[in-house]
Structure 1
Amino acid sequence: MILLRLTWLSLLNRKATLLLILASISISVFLLLAVDMVRHQVKDSFSSTVSGTDLVVGARSGQINLLLYSVFRIGNATNNISWQSYQEISKHPKVDWSIPLSLGDSHKGYRVLGTSQTYFTHYRYGKKQNLDFAKGKPFAGLFDVVLGAEVAKALNYKLGDSIVIAHGMGNAALVEHGDKPFVVSGILKPTGTPVDRTLHVSLEAIEAIHVDWKAGTKIPGLNISAEQALGMDLKPKQITAFMLGLKSRLSVFHLQRSINNYRSEPLQAILPGLALQELWQMFSLAEKALMFVSALVALSSFIGLLALMLTSLNERRREMAILRSVGARPMHILLLLVIESSLLTCLSVLFGVALLYLSLGTLSPWIQSEWGFRLIVQPLTLWQWQLLGILMLAGSCVGVIPGIRAYKQSLIDGMAIRL
């Protein structure tokens, strides 16, 4: 206890310099933990986006591209799928349910998804959780729209509000379907997935807003009103992709092979789990690079601590001599410096962890609104505790080197400084 008190008083005597080292190590601890926590939570967020879906089917491209645009609403499809092909595959004896997906329009930067009622019945996320409504109900009328939780919150929409969908995706220079406005019929509860950032309408509604369009442009001189569209045949001609749930998971590879060899048009069926693994393999190098950079930052901070302690030894020789004069032994001088570096590291770890949770609590809403990832404030994992343990051990080892040097100096100096 006496050594600990002496160490604390010594640190207070040099607080200006040591505060800089404390800040440096705290930031390195924060970076190391933040990178590890964010990469794990991003993985969990992606993995929980869809569950219970056996196959995702789209136009033939790469399985990662298909996964990104159909599940995560990132990127665009290389081609569409005919409605006839979708119906034929969805009626396969091994298929239990199917969810059609039609993408291509947006509203103020948020994607619009055309689908059917089966989306609200069979779509699962997380640990096979159902989509639940915070308010309202699924679309029933032709121009009803169901909003994801983030869309409703960010744009301050409520039930009964009118919404105009724009042709294409993005925020700028989009042509709006202003003659066919939609009415909010329901708002979904938050899911922490791309569902929160999506507007959901029926497939027939997607056809209705494009009845006077061709090849992505409005037909000059042709104006079909919303009332006229209600009386038209709005059976979809094409969709972007669809999800399948099978009666038995044992038949998933057989049906996948059958779809991949589909003769009517080039299709591709992917297993979401395998596609996600391939996606993580692509990013594994970036993950390792981020962890390596964070480790280098921590290493540089400890090197800075070591340099500071070594350079201050000559200035502290009088302090050591005074301690010797009151009965301190050379071993006590060594322990004093080891305790000093350990105490600094401990304080840095505490401040680093506090900075991490403060940042998570403050920045999580902004990160979710900007990037769509929900960062949850949760306890440190076993691996993260091990990381902190390694940092504490490294901090103690840093104090050994100047401690040994001070030990030798105190043996030479005795109770008087020898220059």
Structure 2
Amino acid sequence: MTAIFRLAWQSLANRKTTALLTLLTVAISVTLLLGVERVRTQAKSSFANTISGTDLIVGSRSGQVNLLLYSVFRIGNATNNIDWKSYQEISQHRSVKWAIPISLGDSHQGYRVIGTNESYFSHYRFGQKQALNFAEGRQFSALFETVLGAEVAQKLGYHINDEIIIAHGISDKSFNRHDNLPFKVVGILEPTGTPVDRSVHVSLEAIEAIHVGWESGAKLGHTPDAQTLEDHHFEPKQITAFMLGLNSKIQTFALQRYINTYRKEPLSAIMPGIALHELWGMMSIAEQALLIVSGFVVIAGLLGMLTSLLTSLNERRREMAILRAMGARPGHIFFLLVSEATVLTTIGIGLGITLLYSLMAIAQPFIQQQFGLHIEITAPTTYELSLLGIVQIAGIIVGIIPAIRAYQHSLADGMTIKV
């Protein structure tokens, strides 16, 4: 068996160009297969880790996916707002340990503005219950101060002490900007790979202050200057949603039922984990499409190897005949060609893995910066190893097809090839 593998290696070495092209085809196929699988699993993990440590998210009555989208992912809008008194009553419930109020509605150059308070920086968690950390500066304390997410600061080139103008609503146009009330950047958060990176954070009081003189999205009355507004005490009238952390997980369902049947206004309380699972399930078609595409690429690579082996087989019929004449049995010829396919597939898989990890090392910072997706460079998982095992077995099976043809060729057929 060792002699056959040595002979297979020498045979491939004599056909360097064809062998290298076949190796490259298999390697690229394996790189794409593992790359798609790694991106898929990391994207799912990053998606699931967008928020952690939060037991309930509360918003106006709506579906749980819609509530999750606007409260966590800053996508879309709430069907209605929540009265501030309702928030205060629920946040003071004996089961509640902490609460984070959120007010949405404004924007800055395409990025959502989040009105909140100090609880956001103290209790918001992402990933494996990781806290928000400041890359520079501190959290806001004065009325017209803001904290920027990492992407906002990086893309728009903001630094500490810069001033920004907030626009009323999602569209940032000249007629709906609060241009007489600039906000001073006092903090920039470290990257999280979550929607926090794409958010502009201000206080709830600031949200109330900048809308003095505005009604239904239009500036109808006189808007006082910043100094005048800072002398007033503002308290929110309404918020968009709020997040709750409980004293005990056991109390989650009881509090959820209490909120869902809240009599003063229609509210919905959702568990983030369940809502995230439902949302990812809705995106499973794209996930399956990626797997199918990568699978077809591997099939194409293996078919390329089969074509190469079958093409070279016709040119090697005299070689096979000479081996037979020197005492090689049909079984030896069969195993020779299977061994060639095995060697090509094995080396192709190894080359594909090397190429994948090289690309990951190069592209990791870019993917993190552009898409907020952290691709971990770790050893192949059990599932990835099983995929490689399937590719290896498929490569061996591909080698059997030309091996059967070579097995069936007679000595006389090989010695009398027509030119």
Instruction: Confirm or deny a common fold (TM above 0.5).
Output: yes
CA contact (8 A) 2:100 2:119 kept: yes
Distance 1:415 1:223 in 2: 96
Cα-to-partner distance string for 1:69-89 (whole Å, 9 max, x where unaligned): 111222222222121211121
8 Å contact kept, 1:150–1:197: yes
Partner residue, 1:264: 264
CA distance in 2, matches of 1:311, 1:10: 15
Contact residue 334 and residue 406 of structure 1 kept, 8 A? yes
1:294 aligned onto 2:294: yes
Following superposition, the deviation at residue 15 of structure 1 comes to 4.1
CA distance in 1, matches of 2:225, 2:298: 64
Q: Check conservation: 2:325, 2:411, Cα contact below 8 A.
A: no
* Displacement after TM superposition at 1:245 (Å): 1.1
Structure 1 residue 398, shift from structure 2 partner = 1.0
Tell me the residue number matched to 1:208: 209
Question: Structure 1: where are the runs of 5+ without partners?
Answer: none
- Which residues of 2 match residues 272-351 of structure 1 at below 5 A? 272-351=272-351
Cα distance, 1:139 vs. partner? 0.9
CA deviation vs aligned residue, 1:170-189 (integer Å, no higher than 9, x gap)? 56777332211111222222
SS at structure 2 position matched to 1:77: coil
CA drift at 1:225: 0.9
Give 1:9 shift: 4.1
Q: Which whole-Å deviations, capped at 9, do the CAs of 1:26-48 have from their partners, x for residues lacking one?
A: 33222221222112111111221
* 1:384 CA drift (Å): 0.3
Is the Cα contact below 8 Å between 1:102 and 1:239 reproduced in 2? Answer: yes
Deviation for aligned residue 1:284: 2.6
For 1:361 and 1:67, the matched residues in 2 are separated by 33
Deviation at 1:265, TM superposition (A): 1.8
3-state SS of 2:316 partner:
helix
Distance in 1, matches of 2:11 and 2:304, equals: 18
In the alignment, the residues of structure 1 paired with residue 357 and residue 171 of structure 2 have an alpha-carbon distance, to the nearest angstrom, of 33
CA distance in 2, matches of 1:397, 1:39: 28
Q: Is 1:93 matched up with 2:94? A: yes
Letter in 2 for 1:343: V
The equivalent residue for 2:243 is 243
Distance 2:327 2:385 in 1: 39
What residue ranges of structure 2 are gaps of 5+ in the alignment?
none
Equivalent position amino acid for 2:89 in 1: E
Q: Is the 8 A contact 2:137 2:186 kept in 1?
A: yes
Amino acid at match of 1:67: L
- Aligned equivalents of 2:172 and 2:362: distance in 1? 27
Equivalent position of 2:415 in the other structure: 416
After superposition, the C-alpha distances for 1:157-199 in whole angstroms (9 at most, x for unaligned) are 3322222222333567773322111112222222222222222
- TM-score normalised by structure 1 residue count: 0.91
Structure 2 CA distance for partners of 1:21 and 1:176, relative to 1, 3 Å: farther
Aligned ranges 1:132-143 → 2 under 5 Å: 132-143=133-144
Q: Is the 8 A contact 2:62 2:79 kept in 1?
A: yes
* Two-structure CA RMSD over aligned residues (Å): 2.4
Contact 1:64 1:279 in 2 (8 A): yes
Residue matched to 1:38: 39
Moved more, 163-172 or 292-301: 163-172
Q: Take 2:144 and 2:206, find their aligned partners in 1: how far apart are those partners?
A: 6
From the superposition, tell whether residues 21 and 134 of structure 1 become closer, same or farther in structure 2 (CA, over 3 Å).
Answer: same
Cα distance in 2 for residues equivalent to 1:215 and 1:232: 23
Contact 1:143 1:205 in 2 (8 A): yes
Higher mean C-alpha deviation, range 55-64 or range 197-206: 197-206
**Aligned twin of 1:182:** 183
Answer yes or no: is the 8 Å Cα contact 2:167–2:173 preserved in 1: no
**So what's the TM-score if we normalise by structure 2?**
0.91
Distance of 2:366 and 2:211 partners within structure 1: 35
1:293 CA drift (Å)? 2.8
**Paired residues, what number?**
417
Shift of 1:52: 1.4
Looking at structure 1, the residues matched to 75 and 349 of structure 2 have their Cα atoms a distance apart, in angstroms, of 38
Q: Structure 1 residue 414: deviation in Å?
A: 8.2
- What amino acid is the match of 1:196? D
- Taking the aligned partners of 2:319 and 2:65, their CA distance within structure 1 comes to 64
Q: Displacement of 1:298 after TM fit?
A: 1.5
- Secondary structure at 2:269's aligned position in 1? strand
How far apart are the structure 2 equivalents of 1:212 and 1:285? 47
Rounded to whole Å, the distance in 2 between the matches of 1:103 and 1:391 is 49
Map 1:370-381 to 2 at 5 A: 370-381=370-381
The 2-side partners of 1:282 and 1:340 are apart by: 44
Distance in structure 2 (CA, Å) of the matches to 1:270 and 1:361: 38
- Cα shift at 1:106: 2.2
Matched position secondary structure for 2:242: strand
Structure 1 residue aligned with 2:359:
359
User: Which residue pairs with 2:194 in the alignment?
Assistant: 193
- Asked whether the 8 Å contact 1:45–1:192 carries over to 2, the reply is yes
What is the identity, as a one-letter code, of the residue corresponding to 1:137? R
User: Aligned AA for 1:397?
Assistant: I
Q: Which amino acid aligns with 2:359?
A: S
Aligned to 2:49: 48
Distance in 2 (CA, whole Å) between partners of 1:294 and 1:170 is 39
Q: Is 1:253 aligned with 2:253?
A: yes
Q: Which range is displaced more, 326-335 or 185-194?
A: 326-335
CA distance in 2, matches of 1:172, 1:376: 40
Percent of residue pairs identical: 56
What is the deviation of 1:211?
A: 1.4
- Check the 8 A contact 2:192/2:372 in 1, yes or no: no
- 8 Å CA contact retained: 1:325, 1:415: no
Letter in 1 for 2:35: A
Match of residue 394 from structure 2: 394
Aligned AA for 2:310? L
1:22 is aligned to 2:14:
no
Stretch deviating more after TM superposition (353-362 or 343-352): 353-362
Are residues 254 and 309 of structure 1, via their aligned partners in 2, closer, same or farther at CA, if it must alter by over 3 Å?
A: same
The Cα of 1:16 is off from its aligned counterpart by 4.0
Q: Partners of 1:174 and 1:190 in 2: how far apart?
A: 32
How far residue 275 of structure 1 moved from its aligned partner, in angstroms, is: 0.7
Deviates more, 1:341-350 or 1:137-146: 341-350
SS of corresponding position for 1:312: helix
User: How far apart in 1 are the matches of 2:75 and 2:411?
Assistant: 69
Q: How does 1:121-160 map to 2 (within 5 A)?
A: 121-160=122-161
